[in-house]
Amino acid sequence: MPTDTASSPRRVSARSSAALSAVGAGTLLANVVAYALFLVLNRELGADDLGAVASLLNLVIIAGVAALSTQLVSAWRVALHRPDAHASALRTGVVVGLVVTGAVLVLTPIIVRVLHLSGPAPVLLVAAAMTPTCVTAGVQGSLQGGERFVALGSLYAVVSLLRTAGGAGAAVLGWGVTGVMALTTAAAWLVAAGAVLLVRGHLRRSLDADVPTQVRRVLVGMAGTSALLVASTVDTPVARHVLPGDSSGAYAVLSLFAKAAFWGPAFLVTVLYPGMSRARGARPLLLALGGTAAIVAVGVALSAALSSPLIRVVGGPAYEHLADLVPVFTALGGAWALSQVLVFWGAARGWHVVGYLVWTAVAVATLVTTVWRHDTLREVATTFLVAALVVAALGTLVSLPRPARRPLD
């Protein structure tokens, strides 16, 4: 019978430390390399093209909201030793990816207009990246649920390395917005092919027609588990829509601090998620919340103290006048990181209330920004910051177990 404590605390502690180190190292490397991509883009692209590329790369994440749900559903089934869980993860990734590809294709004319693009080619490339992205997510879920954390951390790093190499190479060669998206899409296909090799023992079984897909579970889970991918990225496309071209480029530079604060602590909840799926008490939730809050607090403090040198490193001297906004964006990403812990906790228990809170908050923030608070970068960022803080606070209240009432004498 699963419990929160193991029979050998010392062995579990050592294993947990190794898992945290593996996933933490992979996540850190992935984040550093991803930021390196934008360091190149910030210097090789004009402000308007930078805003377009940043919006499209965020669109890849938003359009791939099903990928995170695929990963978590797959990890949950593997952690609970469901039959054919690994083969089902692969099969589910393919089917979900094809569905998302079709959805992006249908929406292409609208996206081109909303993002003020000169043609549909970059959006079509986003559509082409969806199937390999979801296949890779299925593999990541298989590794996560099986607690193969060294392989999982390595895959995180490789995904970022190849995407960065493609995008940065296209920018340096002067291939523009379409070129950057073409090479990042090619990288997604290359990563997917390599990822499948990590679970090749289940590949043949995944081709059998009797292996079930988990598409229904993924679609149900999307409402909650993948809300955070939208929440942590949607502000950049919104800024692209409501702000002038140069300002949207500046927003894209600042959004790197939000992404660092969001993804930086993610290794904690990634490692603790299989335990969340099996746990009876709230110990994994409290560990993840406490650790994430500590990392976020340190990040916000450092970004406030070092805002000027940080913005010079990330964007160059041309963006130094935006230094006072660095801690605002760091706090924005940190608030979504806390919400991510709560969403994962709910997903591990088939409970998506916090995810619905995220969707509601994002919708309200997008509406407020579109019709009212869109005159400056600060107005857009602080609107989404308030939404993220509300979700983190309300989500904690509804997620923490309530103490049992004492009977009246």
Confidence (pLDDT) at 264: 79
The torsion angle over the Cα atoms of residues 188, 355, 257 and 291, rounded to 10 degrees, is -110
Cα distances (Å, whole numbers) of residue 358 to 263, 387, 388, 389? 17, 8, 8, 10
Confidence (pLDDT) at 17: 60
Query: Which residue bears the tokens 């509804």?
Result: 398
Spatial contact of 75 and 138, defined as CB atoms under 8 Å apart? no
Helix axes 245-263, 307-315, angle to 10 degrees: 110
Spatial contact of 67 and 94, defined as CB atoms under 8 Å apart? no
Instruction: Return d(Cα 70, Cα 94) in angstroms, integer.
Output: 10
Cα distances (Å, whole numbers) of residue 295 to 17, 229, 299, 302, 384? 17, 20, 6, 11, 21
Instruction: Return d(Cα 112, Cα 119) in angstroms, integer.
Output: 7
pTM, two decimal places = 0.69
Confidence (pLDDT) at 401: 67
Confidence (pLDDT) at 408: 36
The torsion angle over the Cα atoms of residues 39, 45, 50 and 52, rounded to 10 degrees, is -140
207 contacts: CB under 8 Å, gap ≥ 6:
91
Query: Which residue bears the tokens 């898992």?
Result: 19
Centre a 10 Å sphere on the Cβ of residue 245 and count the other Cβ atoms it contains: 16
- Residue 226 sits at φ, ψ, to 5 deg, of -95, 0
Confidence (pLDDT) at 404: 41
Instruction: Return d(Cα 152, Cα 140) in angstroms, integer.
Output: 6
Confidence (pLDDT) at 196: 92
Confidence (pLDDT) at 381: 87
Instruction: Return d(Cα 258, Cα 243) in angstroms, integer.
Output: 18
Query: Which residue bears the tokens 């049992």?
Result: 404
Query: Which residue bears the tokens 């660092």?
Result: 260
Q: In which region does residue 147 sit, left (phi positive, over 0), alpha (psi from -120 to 50) or beta (all else)?
A: left
Domain layout of the chain by residue ranges: 16-213, 226-401
Confidence (pLDDT) at 390: 92
Centre a 10 Å sphere on the Cβ of residue 80 and count the other Cβ atoms it contains: 13
49 contacts: CB under 8 Å, gap ≥ 6:
176, 177, 249
What type of residue sits at position 208?
Answer: D
Instruction: Return d(Cα 231, Cα 365) in angstroms, integer.
Output: 10
Please, what are the averages of pLDDT over each run of 10 residues along the chain (409 residues)? 42 56 68 74 77 79 78 85 86 92 92 86 92 92 86 86 88 88 93 91 85 83 70 79 74 84 81 72 80 91 88 78 87 90 80 82 88 80 90 86 45
Spatial contact of 137 and 195, defined as CB atoms under 8 Å apart? no
Of the candidates 50, 40, 61, 153, the residue with the CA atom closest to the CA atom of residue 104: 61
> In the numeric block, which tokens belong to residue 351?
């409970």
